[in-house]
Amino acid sequence: MKTWRLITYNIHKGVAPFRGLSVIERVRLSLKESDADFLLLQEVVGEKKLKRKKIESQLEHLADKRWPYHAYGKNAIFPTRNHGNAVLSAVPITKFHNRDLSVYRLEKRGLLHCELAKPLAGFHLCSVHLDVFEVTRKLQVNRLIDYLADHIPHGAPLILGGDFNDWKHKVGSRLEKALGLEELSALTFPSWHPMLRLDRLYVRGLVVKKFAPLTAHPWNRLSDHLPLYLEFQSKG
């Protein structure tokens, strides 16, 4: 049975912490070297206006032969750029939907939901980014649960990954009770000295073979978050 590899990662808009330097090319190379089949990414710049009317897209830069199928969900929109969640896949994506989870305009958040084709037909991947404030995060989790319950068949294989900003550990029990999801978490923030479990994976309908944060260089310098790495097999 084939073992698949997945990474969830808040790439911090491809900008190194503190220095403000673009590291998107190093992010791309590191992700490619990981041999991951699927990427669930947050804070990806979908479009950025440059001088001479050029448009930069991090999604197009990240995607290559390893992930010929991809989807982007625009969340935060500014005069010169926008950013949001992305899913990159080695398996065809049959359909995708971007669900707005924002509670107020200043903190735009969303859920990007993708359904895969063969050889993982009926498998669902979701990339999410939730608020830093607990009050609004609770409302977003309610919307998240309602959406997943309405749009994904009960018991269908699912991987929900992203930046949950849930340092008080209150989201996991709700997702487990409402959707039957198992939590996989580790210390990921800040990347240079991890103290908080902000990034999570929630899974069902699969066999977990390996799970770990990627802590070695250069991962601890590319973003303020560490990536989470998962190896899994389908039960089907």
For 222: left if phi > 0, alpha if psi spans -120 to 50, otherwise beta; the answer is: alpha
Whole-number pLDDT of residue 55: 46
Q: Can you say whether residue 183 is alpha, beta or left, with left for phi > 0 and alpha for psi between -120 and 50 degrees?
A: beta
Q: What is the domain-level CATH number for residue 102?
A: 3.60.10.10
CA distance 189 to 186: 9
Burial of 42 (0-12, 13-18, 19+ CB in 10 A): buried
Token readout for 53 is 């009317």
Q: Are strands 158-163 and 199-204 parallel, antiparallel or unpaired?
A: antiparallel
Q: pLDDT tens digit string along 158-212?
A: 999 999 999 889 899 999 999 999 999 999 999 999 999 999 999 999 999 999 9
In this prediction the pTM is: 0.93
Of 4-8, 74-78, 97-101, 113-117, the one with minimum mean pLDDT is 74-78
Q: What average pLDDT score do residues 95-103 get?
A: 92
Buried b (16+ CB within 10 A) or exposed e, 2-17: eebbbbbbbbbbbbbb
What is the spatial order of strands in the sheet that 182-185 belongs to?
Answer: 93-100, 110-116, 124-129, 158-163, 199-204, 182-185
Q: Quote the CA–CA distance of 45 and 77 in Å, as a whole number.
A: 10
Tell me whether strands 38-49 and 4-10 are parallel, antiparallel or unpaired. Answer: parallel
Range of the domain at 48: 4-234
Hey, how many other C-beta atoms are within 10 angstroms of the C-beta on 234? 17
Q: What is the pLDDT of residue 4?
A: 98
How many domains does the chain fold into?
1
Contact 45, 57 (CB under 8 A): yes
